[in-house]
Amino acid sequence: MKKLINNLIQGLFLISSTVTTLTVLLIVFFLLREGISLFNESPLEGENILAVHSKNKVKTVSAEQIKNIFDRKITHWSEIGGSNDSIILFTSQDFDTYFDADELGSKFEHLPRKIDSLINSTPGIIAVFSKKYIPPHFRGKLVEVPDVSLSSFMSGREWFPTAHPAVQLGVLPLVLGTLWVSLIAILIALPIGLATSIYMAEVASIRMRNLLKPVIELLAGIPSVVYGFFGLIIIVPMIQDIFNLPVGETALAGSIVLAIMALPTIITVSEDALRNTPRAMKEASLALGANRWQTIRRVVIPYSISGISAAAILGIGRAIGETMAVLMVTGNAAIIPHTILQPVRTIPATIAAELGEAPNGGIHYKALFALGCILFVLTLIINLWVEYISRSRKNR
Amino acid sequence: MDIPIAKLYRDWNSFSILGFIMYKGIGVISWEFISEMPKDGMTKGGIYPAIIGTFCLIGGSILFAFPIGVMSAIYINEYTKHGYFRSFIQLMTSNLAGIPSIVFGLFGMSLFVNQLGFGDSILAGSLTLGLLVLPIVIRTTEEALKAVDDNFRQASLALGATKLQTIQRVTLPIALPNILTGLILSIGRVSGETAPILFTVAAYFLPKLPSSIFDQVMALPYHLYVISTSGTNINDSRAMAYGTALVLILIVLILNLTASAVRRYLSKKNNIN
C-alpha cells in the first residue's frame, strides 16, 4: 500500500515534469495549425471572385497587382500583359452606380444577368463580386488569383490585412521593423549594461553591490506596460522635441524603451560571466604590473566574452518578443524602416493590435498566427543559440 | 581606476523611472482610487475592479503553476540522473521561458478560449498566465533544491527514511525559503503581464465584479494600457494612468521586499535549527 502511494506520487512528479515539454509542443501545434492554413487561402475577401471580359488575355492577377489596379497605379491592361484597354473598376460597392435598384429586383435576383451583360459590353472591366452572383451562362472570363504562398508572405512588402478587395499579406516590413528596433535597442543597452556589470563585478564595494542588486531586480520586475507608459509620457515627447518631428512615436523611442527593459537581463547575465573569471588569472595579471583597467580589458572581458555575448543575444531575444511597450511607443506604421526616426511596427505589436479585430478563423486571423510562428521560430533560434553558448562554456 | 559613468547612469536610470511615476502618481492614490469603480469614461473614480481582476488572475495562475512547477522541479532534481532526459526537460523548460508573451496570448486564445470553449474568462486567462510563469517556478525551485547540501539527504536516507520522506521532511523544508522567493517573483510577473490576457480575459470596462471563473475581468496592466493609449479622452484620464502605473509598481516593490524578507527570515530560522 505504502509502496503504491509512493509510486503514485512519483508518477505525479513525472507527469508534472512533462508539462513544459507538452506545452511547447502544444504551442507549436496550435500556431502551425492556424498559421499554415493561411497558405490555402485566396487573398480575395470573403467568397469573392475576379472576372474580366472574355477577350482579355490576362490569366492570373496577383494580390499585389489587384491592389495596384484598385489604387489606380496600374490603369491599363497592357501593363500586366492584357488587352489594349484602360482598366475599368467594378466591385460590389459599385452596384448602385452601375445599376438602378429597381432593375436588380428586391432580392438581387436580376443581379447576375446584369453583371453578365455589363462585363460582356465593357472590354476593359475588372469585376470583383461574390461567388453567388455568377450568372448561369457567364460570357466573361474568371481570372485566377494565386493563393497566399509562403514566398509571397515572406517577401511581400505591403501589410494591409483588411485591404479591399484583396488583402496584402507581406511580412517584410514587420520582420525588418522588429529586427531594426531590437538591434538599435541592443546597441544602446549593451555598452551601458556592460559598464554597469563591470562596475558591479570588479569595482563596486560589497555594500554598493548589495544596494544595486535589489534595484536591478526591481527594474526587471516592473511590468512592460509601465515601461510603455513611461516611454509614452517622457521619451516620445522628448524625441519629438529634440529632432523636431511631427510625431515622436518612432523606432528610436521603441529602441530606448527596449534598451531600458533589456538592461537588467544584460547586467545580470554578463555580471555572472565576469564574476566567473578565475581569481588566479586576475591576480596574475595584476602581479605582472597591469593596472585594474588593463586587467579588466585584457583578462576579464576576453575570458568572459562568451557569457557577454550570451547576454547580448538574450537581450535581443527579450527585445524581439516584447509586445506592450513597443506597441505603445513605436507608432505602428507598417512600412519598411529606413531611419530610426520613422514609425515602425513590430511583429508582436501587430498581433496585439490586430487580433482583437480579426474575425475568428478568417484570413487575417490566420495571418496573425503565421506571424506568431515567425516570432516563435526567431525566439527559438535565439534560445537554442544561448543554450549552446552556455553549454559549451560549462564544458570548458 | 573608478568608472563613474556606470554609477551615474545607474542612478539616473532606475531612479528616474521609479521617481517620476511615484512623483506623478502619489497624488492620485487615495482610498477612493482603490475602492471605487471607474466613472465618466475612466477619467474619474477608481480602479477597484481592475485590482480585483488582477488578484483573481494571480490566484488562478499560481494555483495552477505552483504545484505543477514544484513537483516538476522535484522530479527533475531528485529523481532523474544527469542525462538525456534531464537535459531535454531542462531545454524545453528554458525554451518555454523564452517564448514571447504575445505567443502565449495567441496560444491561450486558440486552445483555451476557442478549442476548449472557455470563452474570454478568468479560467482561460489564468491557465495562459500559469503556463507563462511555470518555467520561472520550475527554475527557482530547481535552484533551491540544488542548493540543499547532499549530506542532509544522505543522512536522512541513512537513518532509514524513504526517498519521499527525505524530500518531504528534509529537502523541501530546507529549500523552502528559496522556493517561496520564486513564488513571490512569479506573482510579480503575473500581475504585470498584459499581452497574454489581451485576448483571453481582459475587458475594457465592466460595471460589475466577476461572479464565476467563466467571467471576464478588468486587470491593472490592461487598464493602464487602454487608458493611456486608446481611451476617448486620453488627457483627462492621464491622472488615472499615473495612479494605475504607481499601483502596479508598488505591487512589484512590495512583492520584491516581501521576497527578500521571507528569504532572510526563513534562512535565519533554518540556521538556528
What DSSP letter does each residue of B79-95 carry, written as one string?
IPPSSHHHHHHHHHHHH
The 10s digit of each residue's pLDDT in B71-126 is 999 999 988 888 888 889 988 998 899 899 999 999 999 999 999 999 899 999 99
The 10s digit of each residue's pLDDT in A372-388 is 999 999 999 998 898 88
Q: Does B196 lie at the interface with A, CB-CB under 8 angstroms?
A: no
The residues facing A160 across adjacent strands are A168
Lowest mean pLDDT among A162-171, A259-268, B154-163, B191-200: A162-171
Span B10-35, average pLDDT: 72
- pLDDT-derived band at A254, boundaries 50, 70, 90: very high
Contacts of residue A18 in chain B, CB cutoff 8 Å? 89
Contacts of residue B110 in chain A, CB cutoff 8 Å? 30, 33-34, 369
**Quick check: helix, strand or coil at residue B45?**
strand
Which of the listed ranges A95-99, B175-179, B209-213 does the model predict with the highest average pLDDT? B175-179
Give Rg (Cα) of chain B: 22
Residue A386, judged by CB atoms within 10 A of its CB (0-12, 13-18, 19+), counts as: buried
Interface of B with A in 219-258 (CB under 8 A): 221-222, 224-225, 228-229, 241, 245, 248-249, 252-253, 255-256
| Among B2, B114, B256, beta carbon nearest to A214 | B256
Most A CBs within 10 Å, among B78, B102, B183, to test the A interface: B102
Looking up cell 515539454 gives: A21
The residues facing A142 across adjacent strands are A51
The secondary structure element, H or E, covering residue B259 is: helix B238-272
Contacts of residue A383 in chain B, CB cutoff 8 Å? 94-95, 98
Residue A224, judged by CB atoms within 10 A of its CB (0-12, 13-18, 19+), counts as: buried
- CATH code for the domain defined by A172-395: 1.10.3720.10
b/e code B251-268 from CB counts within 10 Å (16+ = b): bbbebbeebeebeeebee
Task: Give the CATH number of domain A49-146; options: 3.20.20.70, 3.40.50.620, 3.40.190.10, 2.60.40.420.
Answer: 3.40.190.10
The pLDDT value given to residue B12: 55
Taken in order A25, A30, A35, A41, the sign of the CA dihedral is: positive
Query: What CA–CA distance (Å, rounded) separates B105 from B131?
Result: 11
Q: What is the mean pLDDT of chain B?
A: 85
Contacts of residue B252 in chain A, CB cutoff 8 Å? 218, 221-223
On whether the CB atoms of residues A334 and A309 are closer than 8 A, the answer is: no
Which is nearest to A166 in space by CA: A324, A354, A364, A376? A364
Q: Closest residue of A to B135, CA-based? A: A20
Residue B55, judged by CB atoms within 10 A of its CB (0-12, 13-18, 19+), counts as: middle
The 10s digit of each residue's pLDDT in A148-198 is 888 888 888 888 888 777 888 889 999 999 999 999 999 999 999 999 999
Any idea how long chain B is? 273
User: Which three cell numbers, joined as nine digits, stand for B254?
Assistant: 512590495
On whether the CB atoms of residues A329 and A231 are closer than 8 A, the answer is: yes
- pLDDT-derived band at B3, boundaries 50, 70, 90: very low
Interface of A with B in 261-290 (CB under 8 A): 263
| Among A198, A218, A324, beta carbon nearest to B3 | A198
Report the amino acid identity of residue B203: A
Interface of A with B in 57-86 (CB under 8 A): none
**Quick check: helix, strand or coil at residue A161?**
coil
On whether the CB atoms of residues A164 and A40 are closer than 8 A, the answer is: no
Q: Distances from the Cα of A363 to the Cαs of A132, A311, A358, B94, in angstroms?
A: 20, 38, 8, 32
Query: What CA–CA distance (Å, rounded) separates B114 from A383?
Result: 29
For residue B52, the number of C-alpha atoms closer than 13 Å in the C-beta half-sphere is: 20
Looking up cell 503514485 gives: A8
Measure A339 CA to nearest chain B CA, in Å. Answer: 25
The pLDDT value given to residue A387: 85
Domain ranges of chain A: 49-146, 172-395
B193 contacts A219? CB cut-off 8 A: no
The pLDDT value given to residue B272: 46
Contacts of residue A369 in chain B, CB cutoff 8 Å? 106, 110
Which is nearest to B176 in space by CA: B270, B73, B271? B270
Ordered by where they begin, the domains of chain B are: 54-272 (1.10.3720.10)
Pairing of β A88-91 and β A125-130? parallel
Residues 6 or more apart whose Cβ sits within 8 Å of residue B212: none
The residues facing A331 across adjacent strands are A344
- pLDDT-derived band at B197, boundaries 50, 70, 90: very high
Which value does ipTM take for this structure? 0.88
Q: Flag whether pLDDT at B6 surpasses 70.
A: no
On whether the CB atoms of residues A303 and A390 are closer than 8 A, the answer is: no
DSSP alpha helix (H) spans, chain A: 2-17, 19-36, 63-70, 95-98, 101-104, 111-121, 150-155, 172-198, 206-221, 224-230, 236-243, 251-275, 279-287, 292-295, 301-303, 305-321, 324-329, 347-354, 363-395
Q: Flag whether pLDDT at A363 surpasses 80.
A: yes
